């Protein structure tokens, strides 16, 4: 089996494709009720995490993107994942950014760093027209990350029967921000 493909590097992180070898470490993260507090699926079992990794690998083939492992460079540890993935929202096909990090990596700006790099990749490499973020208003930490990376406008909607904010950034908005 080949090494997972590295997608991008930041100052403190490497984002690469997930592999089945990541499933046990990722299961420890995605099985944590605090990490998954705002997830529509709740904490995941190791089996469900393995299925998530298999789905991510299908996304890489079908779309050229999906959930990527977030590796802290200094420790080499799997911190979580950051994703671009296709999602149907309000009967429209969208590309959503999403992320989950282990609590040991919270409060250090790593989520913002991973999200910013993922947005840059989506807009500058993949030339996506639009990227959304789906956030429950009570998820204050995620709202803060979304705001830091440049999302501001949102609409209220229902997503899996939950009240959420759907933020949107367009390629035009991204390019305007980058030229400032």
Residue-level pLDDT at 1: 57
User: Residue 27: which CATH number?
Assistant: 3.40.630.30
Range of the domain at 48: 6-178
Number of structural domains (the chain) is: 1
Residue-level pLDDT at 71: 98
- As to burial, measured by CB atoms within 10 angstroms (0-12 exposed, 13-18 middle, 19+ buried), residue 64 is exposed
Classify residue 1: in a domain, yes or no: no
- Identify the segments of the chain with pLDDT beneath 70: 1, 180
Per residue in 91-117, pLDDT (tens digit) is: 899 999 999 999 999 999 999 999 999
Nearest to 135 by CA among 153, 116, 113: 153
Residue-level pLDDT at 73: 97
Classify residue 33: in a domain, yes or no: yes
């Amino acid at each position: 089996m080949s090494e997972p493909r590295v997608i991008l590097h930041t100052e403190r992180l490497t984002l690469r494709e997930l592999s089945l070898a990541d499933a046990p470490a990722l299961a420890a993260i995605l099985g944590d009720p605090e990490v998954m507090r705002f997830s529509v699926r709740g904490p995941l079992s190791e089996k469900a995490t393995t299925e998530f990794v298999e789905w991510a690998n299908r996304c890489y083939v079908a779309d050229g993107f999906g959930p990527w492992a977030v590796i802290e460079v200094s420790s080499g540890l799997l911190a979580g994942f950051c994703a671009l993935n296709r999602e149907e929202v309000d009967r429209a096909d969208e590309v959503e950014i999403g992320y989950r990090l282990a609590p040991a990596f919270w409060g250090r700006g790593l989520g913002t760093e991973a999200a910013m790099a993922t947005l840059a990749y989506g807009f500058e490499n993949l030339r996506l027209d639009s990227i959304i973020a789906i956030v429950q208003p009570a998820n204050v930490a995620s709202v803060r990350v979304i705001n830091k990376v440049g999302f501001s406008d949102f609409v209220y909607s229902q997503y899996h029967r939950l009240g959420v904010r759907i933020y949107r950034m367009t390629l035009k908005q991204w390019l305007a921000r980058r030229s400032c």
